[in-house]
Structure 1
Amino acid sequence: MSNTQETLHHAHGGDLDAIQRKYQIPKEEIKDFSGNINPLGFPKSAELALANNLHLISTYPDKQYTALREAISTYTNANKDHIVVGNGSTELISTFIQTVAAKNSIVLGPAYSEYEREITLLGGGFAYFPLEEKNDFQLDIDHLIASLTKEIGMLVICNPNNPTGTAISTMDLERILTHCKAIGASVLVDETYIEFADNINEICAIPLVESFDNLFVIRGTSKFFAAPGIRLGYGVSSNKEFLHHLQSNQDPWSVNSLAAFVGEHIFSDFDFHKETQTLVSTERQKALDILSTWNNIKAYPSSANFILLKLLTDKTTSAAIFEHLIQKKLLIRNAASFTFLDETYLRFCILAPEDNANLLMALKEIVE
């Protein structure tokens, strides 16, 4: 594999600029199934409100982000005083890991590479706890708890998990948190994709924040609200010492005025929330039903807006499929770069019905 190909395959999904440079395909013509972004795009109500308030660019945001935190509180039912905001969920992940400064951490894997990166940058030790393919990547709770010894200072969970789409129930999260509290470990739960789940109330960790001060829940707006450009993330924790430390170590005005204003609007656009959840749920199930009839691919059930696939044939690889589909201006994620996965795995996200149908038709031509 060339250096350029390796870089592309290890990059985050949705890097259309890199794809455009390598393949000389205008990025506007590419159907991006790799970035996991809401196919409905940015909420129109917020877009209109933003267009009418661009004068805010000349103002500083409220240092306390009071209105923004109130909007998030209403949206999540979290205590406003337990909410912090940041320059994307990535900043909050980084700041949380810096604040905990655990000597040893466990990350459920396969996983988003940013967790590993931040832990490593701080010189911490970490190990991946495997979500195993033989269990369809569902978590073995007993095995995990046995692995969480007193030497472990932090546990990182993405729920639903990227790239597997599997989710842990709130009940099981409570069991994990109880054990982590007993051994003095902090827990980071990244809920970037939870709003796409059919059963959000059964897997959400935010209700547990009041009872567990070793828990920090993080969400962003890049995926569900199709707003990666505003760089707005938020977190929920009841640990006063941690919240103070987090806010003290953040750059002033980490969230800009326009992002704060947008946040005050997107969380109350309930029609957009419902339309997104209906579209993703319907199209996800449709795709899973179709894929279940194929012989050479296994599709794993998903609670997110993407589906992980495993090739059951040796006549092609995920890299070869990536190359074939990009020539058709269809961009999927070669999942071989994720820990524990290999060249038999690929991932695609849910887009508009016509786009999903076109992708599945093109994929079927290759593998079936």
Structure 2
Amino acid sequence: MSTSMEQKIEGKEHFHGSDLEKIEKYFGIPKEKITGFGANVNPLGISPKMKEGLATHLDVLTAYPDPEYTELRKHIASYAGCKPEQVLVGNGCTELISLFIGIHHPKKALVVSPTYSEYERELRLVGSEVNYYALKEELDFQMDVDDFCQTLKDGTELCIICNPNNPTSTATTPDDMRQILECCKNHHIFLMVDETYAEFAPEDTSVSSVNLLSEFDNFAILRGISKFFAAPGLRLGYAMTSDLELLKNIKEQMNPWSINSLAELAGSYMFNDWDYIRRTRDLISSERERIYQELLTWKTVKVYKPYANFILVKILKEGVTSYDVFVHAIKKGLMLRDCSTFLGMEDETFFRFCFMMPDKNTELLACLKELLG
């Protein structure tokens, strides 16, 4: 399949989680009055320790950052559970996606879909032939690992998996990822695992592949701080891989000081703010279970077990589309994500929303019930 990851629905305006200015203009709703259920950002806001630390150390702006980001990489390694020398920092996860795709420059790439459109965009920019492995709705969008491994062939040079996946909120376990990595190794394929949402996963369900770094050097894990740490404006991302030669080659191609002094300093606070980290996980875990169990009782929708901080919903009620749901909610200042622009979801029956504070989540459920009750 070579269809573009992002599809257009004729005659309708579609919005992403960060399109608040566009929505403000289109619907006439002040962006300050919009609750962003489409952005997948931690509702607690930024780490209090980081906020206080940056406010009292603004003078770091007068000096260049450490070009090796030695202390920052130590903090990341301690937080994520890897070695400092396995860490590469970048200007957000977006830059890292571009760097890893650029260094491999694959003639052929395989992307597990439906998923984040930035992978396809970056692959197209380097001239890659992009193929897709579609997660199957009849399997509730869970990966069939045996079937997936059968599609991996010589000639494919790069494979991309978002785990937990956006927009499905489904996840691949470390055991299954080990099988995938073995198969990739046999076919000389490098695997890029985007773990943007892994930190939100339930405590009793490990989804991160960090522990596999000691076993495999044919993959990299990418993360950012935009979602879990609610700091998209800092533009800080990090990658982890045990292929140190690859990291060396990427560093040689990177612009120096791609991370500014404030983002460098922020790491020393946010990755050590364990009270904030615990509160985030407790909040998301509690609201995820409450909302999932509530929606399971609705006859008009189908929901898929979520592992991230958002949930995918399929509309079963005849005559109601995902665009109808989006418009109904946005008129009340509640912005969710119409998923009809994702590959494989063009039938306008899927929407996605993230978990905010309990009162706002309850407000959204009541709003959805007006249309889908």
Q: TM-score normalised by the shorter chain: which range applies?
A: over 0.9
Question: Which of 252, 255, 262 in structure 2 is aligned with 1:251?
Answer: 255
**Aligned counterparts of 2:205 and 2:337: Cα–Cα separation in 1:** 29
* Equivalent position SS for 1:126: strand
TM-score by length of 2: 0.95
Instruction: Answer whether contact 2:109 2:156 (CA < 8 A) is retained.
Output: yes
Per-residue CA deviation, residues 257-300 of structure 1 (Å, 9 max, x unaligned), is: 00110011100111111100000010011001111111111111
Instruction: Answer whether contact 2:50 2:269 (CA < 8 A) is retained.
Output: yes
Q: Which one-letter code corresponds to 1:216 in the other structure?
A: A
1:367 aligns with 2:367: no
1:138 aligns with 2:138: no
Question: Which of 336, 339, 342 in structure 2 is aligned with 1:338?
Answer: 342
**1:133/1:81 Cα in 2 relative to 1: closer, same or farther (>3 Å)?**
same
> Structure 2: where are the runs of 5+ without partners?
1-7
1:173 aligns with 2:171: no
**Aligned counterparts of 1:309 and 1:303: Cα–Cα separation in 2:** 14
Aligned positions of 1:196-345 closer than 5 A: 196-199=200-203, 202-342=206-346, 343-345=348-350
Equivalent position of 1:353 in the other structure: 358
Per-residue CA deviation, residues 175-211 of structure 1 (Å, 9 max, x unaligned), is: 1101111111000000000000014762211111122
Instruction: Answer whether contact 1:153 1:186 (CA < 8 A) is retained.
Output: yes
**Aligned counterparts of 1:103 and 1:312: Cα–Cα separation in 2:** 40
Q: Which one-letter code corresponds to 1:356 in the other structure?
A: N
Per-residue CA deviation, residues 236-266 of structure 1 (Å, 9 max, x unaligned), is: 0111221011111111101100011001110
**Aligned counterparts of 1:323 and 1:59: Cα–Cα separation in 2:** 48
Equivalent position of 1:48 in the other structure: 52
**Aligned counterparts of 2:171 and 2:204: Cα–Cα separation in 1:** 10
Moved over 3 A (4+): 1-6
Instruction: Answer whether contact 2:9 2:341 (CA < 8 A) is retained.
Output: no
Equivalent position of 1:161 in the other structure: 165
* Equivalent position SS for 1:328: coil
Shift of 1:21: 1.9
1:120 aligns with 2:124: yes
**Aligned counterparts of 1:146 and 1:162: Cα–Cα separation in 2:** 23
* Equivalent position SS for 2:214: coil
Q: Identity rate of aligned residues, in percent?
A: 42
Equivalent position of 2:5 in the other structure: none
Per-residue CA deviation, residues 39-84 of structure 1 (Å, 9 max, x unaligned), is: 0000111101100011112211000001100000110111100100
**Aligned counterparts of 2:204 and 2:57: Cα–Cα separation in 1:** 33
**1:245/1:259 Cα in 2 relative to 1: closer, same or farther (>3 Å)?**
same
Structure 1 stretch displaced more, 194-203 or 18-27: 194-203
Instruction: Answer whether contact 1:332 1:347 (CA < 8 A) is retained.
Output: yes
Shift of 1:2: 8.6
Equivalent position of 1:190 in the other structure: 194
**1:36/1:56 Cα in 2 relative to 1: closer, same or farther (>3 Å)?**
same
* Equivalent position SS for 2:206: helix
Structure 1 stretch displaced more, 226-235 or 238-247: 238-247
Shift of 1:5: 4.4
Equivalent position of 1:89 in the other structure: 93
Equivalent position of 2:3 in the other structure: none
Q: Which one-letter code corresponds to 1:149 in the other structure?
A: K
Instruction: Answer whether contact 1:194 1:200 (CA < 8 A) is retained.
Output: no
**1:251/1:297 Cα in 2 relative to 1: closer, same or farther (>3 Å)?**
same
1:74 aligns with 2:68: no
**1:263/1:4 Cα in 2 relative to 1: closer, same or farther (>3 Å)?**
farther
Q: Which one-letter code corresponds to 2:43 in the other structure?
A: P
* Equivalent position SS for 2:154: coil
Question: Which of 68, 73, 84 in structure 2 is aligned with 1:64?
Answer: 68
**Aligned counterparts of 2:204 and 2:193: Cα–Cα separation in 1:** 14
**Aligned counterparts of 1:55 and 1:201: Cα–Cα separation in 2:** 42
TM-score by length of 1: 0.97
> Structure 1: where are the runs of 5+ without partners?
none
Shift of 1:14: 2.7
**Aligned counterparts of 1:4 and 1:242: Cα–Cα separation in 2:** 46
Question: Which of 102, 105, 125 in structure 2 is aligned with 1:98?
Answer: 102
Instruction: Answer whether contact 1:60 1:257 (CA < 8 A) is retained.
Output: yes
**Aligned counterparts of 2:194 and 2:225: Cα–Cα separation in 1:** 12
**Aligned counterparts of 1:48 and 1:339: Cα–Cα separation in 2:** 42
**1:200/1:179 Cα in 2 relative to 1: closer, same or farther (>3 Å)?**
farther
**Aligned counterparts of 1:356 and 1:93: Cα–Cα separation in 2:** 32
